[in-house]
Amino acid sequence: MPRDENGESLRRVTVSMSEDTFQTLDRLVNDRGFDSRSQGIAEMIHSQAAEHLGKVGTEVMAANLTLVYDESKSSLLRDLSRICREHIAEVISSQHVLLEDDHVMEVMLMQGPAKILREIANELATCKGVKTAQLTLTPFLIPQVHGKGKTNEF
């Protein structure tokens, strides 16, 4: 059985598609810089699998949430902070970048059950002043730094 550069075994599949879909695939592979159609298709499958597992809700996942909001709204920053503190076990970190016209882009890294991550994202997205919210889930987890069986030696 053939293996990839990481030593994982590879399986070959045959896929039939319309000419339009094939042309779209080739444009996508070229535009995104994939080495091959196989690499592009594998990335799409991983992305869709994460989306599907995230909808199931019980799977523990890592996620990033990107918010764009208008910080001039009077209680928005307090509301966002309150929600993050209520979910301090899931919200690992955040970084914000100041944009034009009192707007901020904030990226939050989270980990936990997909259902809870979606609930947090929805709660944050519905705060008055939030313009956009995009949640991206992945089944790959952030290794725990602290926890059972872990020791920190200094």
> Rounded to an integer, what distance in angstroms lies between the CA atom of residue 12 and that of residue 58?
31
Q: What is the pLDDT of residue 57?
A: 63
Domain 60-138 has CATH 3.30.70.1150: yes
List per-residue pLDDT tens for the chain, 154 residues long. 778 777 888 888 888 989 999 999 999 899 989 888 988 888 888 777 777 766 666 788 899 999 999 999 889 999 999 999 999 999 999 999 999 999 999 999 999 999 999 999 999 999 999 999 999 988 888 887 555 555 545 4
The DSSP code for 51 is H
Token pair 């059985």 is found at: 1
The DSSP code for 109 is E
Q: What is the pLDDT of residue 53?
A: 65
**108: nearest Cα among 18, 130, 10:** 130
Q: What is the pLDDT of residue 54?
A: 62
Residue-range domain boundaries for the chain: 19-56, 60-138
Rounded to 5°, the CA angle 33-2-42 comes to: 35
Which strands sit side by side in the sheet containing 130-138, from one edge to the other?
91-98, 103-113, 60-70, 130-138
Confirm if 77 and 94 have CB atoms less than 8 A apart.
no
Q: What is the pLDDT of residue 145?
A: 57
